[in-house]
């Protein structure tokens, strides 16, 4: 069904996406559209790899294609504050493209200002930078390139698990600093085999991580709103845990693989972290706001969390004084897990495909929709 937008100002006041939303049919007309892309700036790195498509300079590799069709394509890394470049284009853009790695936060206020906006596209996976309820109430379509970086993120999670379990970073720092102290590393280095690993969320990424972990002979647990079918569970060797806190109390390693929603924001607060095993290792490549920032710092300082690794922060980019930069036993990076060159090629192609379908008035692949016809995808409800 074609993209929709609210026909009256009354509909914009609807609080719940499940409420009736009065929209009017709005196909992308043959005329030119204004498309704005928000991506991180790569500077000198932009020309080092022709497939480095996720930066502002290369802009998903779709500029020539869009402009050949008569559309205007504005690209900027400047997304914050009332005087930023993005803000200047909000009133008359038709499509906004952003990524989880340099998210353009689409608030209810921005949606209200965007009178021509029809489509919000995420080049990647995860659309929590959009106020989804406001988008649904306004009749907007929100979509992402589902599956585009599943392999990339799952591989990165496995790497981070091993980095924490083997106490890798102190040894690496010793080499850089000209030191040699095996005991300082070995006193808290372990094998992954035999450890209990639990994933909070077992969607595409969580399931793939469990499959990647099977050869390590771990005890695999998962908590999710949906239970896998028995055949898949047996194939992976994972056990479903309906009670999240009971699962967490069993885990040597906890991996966060759930989307950021109203229900999961701040899910790991001081009280929940206290229920984890002392010395637990946590990997979070999902979203930073799922964790209580200060609670994580306090638990790392006390040793209750023996190691924390991930690439997601709140906000993003993380400010220089973000507390996670300075807590002990962390293996944090910028948001990079889902933006490998291979992933960039996939989400650039997926974004182009959805734009092409949008221009033709065609449906997107069903799994790509996050908001459609006033309804949120199940994982965001």
Residues flagged as binding site: 125, 149-150, 204-205, 224, 259-263, 285, 311, 335-338
Whether 110 is catalytic is no
Residue 316 annotated to the active site = yes
Spot the catalytic one: 257, 316, 329, 330: 316
Q: Which residue has the tokens 């196909």?
A: 27
User: Does 149 participate in catalysis according to the annotation?
Assistant: yes
- Catalytic, out of 160, 335, 344, 368: 335
DSSP state of 365: P
DSSP H/E element including 10: helix 9-12
Report the alpha-carbon distance of residue 13 to residue 138 in Å, rounded. 8
- Which residue has tokens 């924390």? 308
Strand, helix or coil for residue 293: helix
Concatenating the DSSP letter of every residue in 338-362 gives: T--HHHHHHHHHHHHHHHHHHHHTP
**What is the per-residue DSSP string for 257-281?**
-----TTTTT-B-HHHHHTSPTTEE
Q: Which member of 287, 344, 346, 368 is catalytic?
A: 287
Tokens of 129: 């930078």
Q: Which 3 state secondary structure label does DSSP give 228?
A: coil
What CA dihedral angle connects 134, 137, 143 and 149, to 10 degrees? 40
Are the CB atoms for 61 and 348 separated by under 8 Å? Answer: yes
Q: CA 253, CA 31: separation in Å to the nearest integer? A: 53
Alpha helices in 17-83 (DSSP H): 63-68
Report how far residue 98's alpha carbon sits from residue 107's, in angstroms, rounded to the nearest whole number. Answer: 13
Residue tagged active-site, from 58, 149, 284, 344:
149
Q: What count of Cα atoms within 13 Å lies in the side-chain half-sphere of residue 232?
A: 14
4 is catalytic: no
Residue 186 and residue 180: Cα distance in Å, rounded? 12
Contact (CB, 8 A) for 146 and 15: no
Known binding-site residues for NAD(+) equal 150, 204-205, 224, 259-263, 285, 311, 335-338
Q: Which residues are catalytic?
A: 149, 287, 316, 335
């Amino acid at each position: 069904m074609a993209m929709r937008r609210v026909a009256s100002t009354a509909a914009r006041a609807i609080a719940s996406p499940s409420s009736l939303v009065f929209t009017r049919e709005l196909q992308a007309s043959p005329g030119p559209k204004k498309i704005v892309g928000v991506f991180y700036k790569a500077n000198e790195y932009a020309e080092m790899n022709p497939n480095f498509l996720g930066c502002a300079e290369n802009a998903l590799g779709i500029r020539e294609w869009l402009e050949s069709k008569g559309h205007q394509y504005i690209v900027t890394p400047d997304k914050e504050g009332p005087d930023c470049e993005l803000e200047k284009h909000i009133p008359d853009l038709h499509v906004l493209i952003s990524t989880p790695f340099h998210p353009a936060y689409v608030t209810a206020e921005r949606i209200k200002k965007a009178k021509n906006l029809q489509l919000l596209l995420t080049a990647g996976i995860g659309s929590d930078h959009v106020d989804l309820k406001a988008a649904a109430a306004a009749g907007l379509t929100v979509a992402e390139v589902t599956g585009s970086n599943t392999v990339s993120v799952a591989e990165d999670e496995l790497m981070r698990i091993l980095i924490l379990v083997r106490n890798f970073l102190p040894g690496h720092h010793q080499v850089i600093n000209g030191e040699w102290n095996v005991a300082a590393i070995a006193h808290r280095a372990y094998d992954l085999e035999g450890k209990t690993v639990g994933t909070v969320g077992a969607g595409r990424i969580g399931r793939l991580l469990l499959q990647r972990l099977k050869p390590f002979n771990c005890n695999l647990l998962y908590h999710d709103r949906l239970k896998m079918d028995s055949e898949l569970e047996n194939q992976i060797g994972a056990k479903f845990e309906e009670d999240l806190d009971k699962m967490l109390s069993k885990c040597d390693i906890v991996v966060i693989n759930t989307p950021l929603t109203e229900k999961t924001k701040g899910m790991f607060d001081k009280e929940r972290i206290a229920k984890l095993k002392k010395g637990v290792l946590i990997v979070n490549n999902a979203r930073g706001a799922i964790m209580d920032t200060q609670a994580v710092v306090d638990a790392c300082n006390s040793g209750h969390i023996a190691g924390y690794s991930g690439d997601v922060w709140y906000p993003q980019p993380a400010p220089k004084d973000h507390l996670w930069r300075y807590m002990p036993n962390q293996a944090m990076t910028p948001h990079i897990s889902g933006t490998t060159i291979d992933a960039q090629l996939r989400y650039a192609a997926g974004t182009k495909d959805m734009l092409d379908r949008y221009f033709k008035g065609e449906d997107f692949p069903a799994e790509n929709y996050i908001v459609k016809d006033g309804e949120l995808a199940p994982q965001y409800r």
